[in-house]
Amino acid sequence: MKKLPLAIAQLNFTVGDVEGNTDQILAACHRAGNELGCRMVVFPELAITGYPPEDLLFRTDFLVAAEAALARVIREAGEICAVVGHPWRDNGTLYNAASVVDAGQVLGRYYKRELPNYGVFDEKRYFTAGAQPCVVSVDGISCGITVCEDIWYAQPVSDTVAAGARVILNLNASPFAIGKAHQREEQVVAERARESAVPVVYVNLVGGQDELVFDGGSFVTAANGQVLHRSPCFTEDLARVDLGDGGPVVDTCTPLPGPEDSVYRALVSGVRDYVDKNGFKGVVLGLSGGIDSALTLAVAADALGPERVQAVLMPSRYTRQISLEDAISQAQALGVEHLTLPIEALVKSYREQLDPLFSGLPADATEENLQARIRGNLLMAISNKTGRLVLTTGNKSEMAVGYATLYGDMAGGFAVIKDVPKTLVYRLAKHRNRSKAVIPQRVISRAPSAELAPDQADTDSLPPYEVLDPILKAFIEEDRSVAEIVAGGFDRATVEQVVQMVVRNEYKRRQAPPGIRITSRAFGRDRRYPITSRFG
């Protein structure tokens, strides 16, 4: 029986680090051949450049570097057959390509046919779609090459099988979203395998890139759609799979993480790679004693180690004693350095300067926001002096309705839970505490408050989060109208209030730092709404 030992190279590449990515590719080639005894190795989509390279693809010097890197892979990969993703220019046209390299030769080159142009993807801005299948024979096994989105459509796969493929190798850079791993396996790849009656090897990228996190979870399905192998999620992995006439032979199938576990690991991965790939020494954040900063601190400490995290308590006259106690308790439980910078004297100084201008005007949110902006200034000063990145702590529910202070608690370099709804924040805090109780129970159980005014509670300004979050999901992620949301059982006045708040605060979100995407539609590159609009 013919047998083809193949390695799945689930690796963490960095956009633009063409030389470093190529080093990783060659190291994996050598390890796959020498240690795992593999004849072939398959890498993720655009492995040489990292994904997504965005407007770097408009730079000729970038494309020249990518082409030189591919030539290096051809020269140095050795006797192993490597399937490598890269951009490629052909007669002045740019393609999202995958080359099959073996013993110093290119056996075949495939151009991605289905170019995604929705959500976070805008590949039609850069690439031209291919049209032809690519099938290569390696040790008597006919392998068909497809790239990412191709597997979501029947035609590229059926054409490849018609051209003689007996196994589909699918190179991916598929970012994480809640529930997407199950969708890939059960609704997409399994269906393609059954339709075409051939096994599929699905190789996915892993690691964080700006707002995106790639969760890995590479897998192999039999011709009947059954998952025979699954690489671990959120970690690099090089796994051997034996392909043959009788179908794939494997012995490892790592289970998929549950919803809260997958989101938490995505946040950890996103923070670690954003900080490390951008060269920051560590992070600093304001720790209030509330649930959002508590979750952010836990994620940061798990991502970077407590020694690279600094927590700053900045109490005002409205800060409750239990908030200070809980904040200190959590910092100590995590082993994170913490310091206290009271802001009352600074608030007084600001007020003395502004009171003559505000004479005769009643107190309002202006005085509340002063406190948040003073805190933002202090954190940015610490960042400037120490080289630590400021992590903001606002959640998706707050960002959606503008329950955040521009140039205050929104000021920073990276928004860890920007795409995490408030109700999910609580579930993630409980999930984190299952391994070790580092977030005080009182932080989880007591009513949330910004603590910018006497006896303040979030529900003074917002509907309960159990009501707010489903409305926001329907409007933001599902594009439902007010009428459609009301038909789902929500009070019309509440829905109209929430929608107006979302629309009115687009200008704030446009100035917010990038944050980790974990839902099907996040604020940022995922959702592009006009600031100036009278629709609705």
Read off the CATH number of the domain in which 218 is found.
3.60.110.10
| pLDDT surpassing 60 at residue 108 | yes
Among all chains, which residue has been given the structure tokens 């980790």? 516
Confirm whether 77 is domain-assigned.
yes
Asked whether residue 446 falls in the same domain as residue 468, the answer is no
Average confidence (pLDDT) over 295-309: 98
Mean pLDDT, the chain, as a whole number?
A: 94
Domain assignment present for residue 521? The answer is: no
Nearest to 300 by CA among 326, 328, 271: 271
Provide, rounded to the nearest whole percent, the portion of the chain with pLDDT above 90. Answer: 87
Active-site residue, selected from the candidate residues 29, 38, 45, 396? 45
Tell me the β-bridge partners of 190.
none
CA atoms within 13 A on the CB side of 468: 25
DSSP string, 260-302: HHHHHHHHHHHHHHHHHHTT-SEEEEE--SSHHHHHHHHHHHH
Strand partners, 42: 8, 83
Q: Which residue has the higher pLDDT, 231 or 462?
A: 231
Of the candidates 38, 134, 143, 148, the residue annotated as catalytic is: 148
Does the residue 535 lie in any domain?
Answer: no
* Known catalytic residue at 478: no
Same domain, 179 and 282: no
With bands split at pLDDT 50, 70 and 90, how would you rate the model's confidence at 251?
low
Name the domain count of the chain. Answer: 3
Q: In a 10 Å sphere around its CB, with 0-12 CB exposed, 13-18 middle and 19+ buried, how is residue 50 labelled?
A: buried
112 labelled catalytic? yes
The type of residue at 533 is S
How far apart are alpha carbons 78 and 436 in whole angstroms? 47
Confidence (pTM): 0.94
Both 14 and 31 in one domain: the answer is yes
Determine, yes or no, domain membership for 234.
Answer: yes
Rounded Cα distance between 461 and 365, Å, is: 11
Token pair 């030769």 is at which residue?
Answer: 105
Same domain, 80 and 192: yes
Residue 458: half-sphere exposure toward Cβ, Cα within 13 Å: 22
pLDDT tens sequence across 4-27: 999 999 999 999 999 999 999 999
pLDDT at 247: 67
With a CB cutoff of 8 Å and minimum separation 6, the contacts of 385 are none
On the 0-12 / 13-18 / 19+ scale of CB atoms within 10 A, 78 is middle
Spell out the residues 6+ positions from residue 397 whose beta carbon is closer than 8 angstroms to its own.
403, 421, 422, 423, 462, 465, 468, 469, 472
User: Does 45 qualify as catalytic in the annotation?
Assistant: yes
Judged by DSSP in three states, 364 sits in coil
196 and 300 co-located in one domain = no
> Does 306 lie in the same domain as 335?
yes
97 shares a domain with 18: yes
User: Do residues 76 and 194 both lie within one domain?
Assistant: yes
CB atoms within 10 A of CB 377: 15
pLDDT at 244: 80
- What does the alpha-carbon distance between residue 269 and residue 207 come to, in Å, rounded to a whole number? 6
Answer yes or no: do 244 and 292 share one domain: no
**What's the pLDDT score for residue 425?**
97
Same domain, 206 and 78: yes
Q: Which of 250, 240, 210, 249 is nearest to 418 (CA)?
A: 210
Question: Are 438 and 330 within 8 A, CB to CB?
Answer: yes
The percent of residues in the chain predicted with pLDDT above 70, rounded, is 98
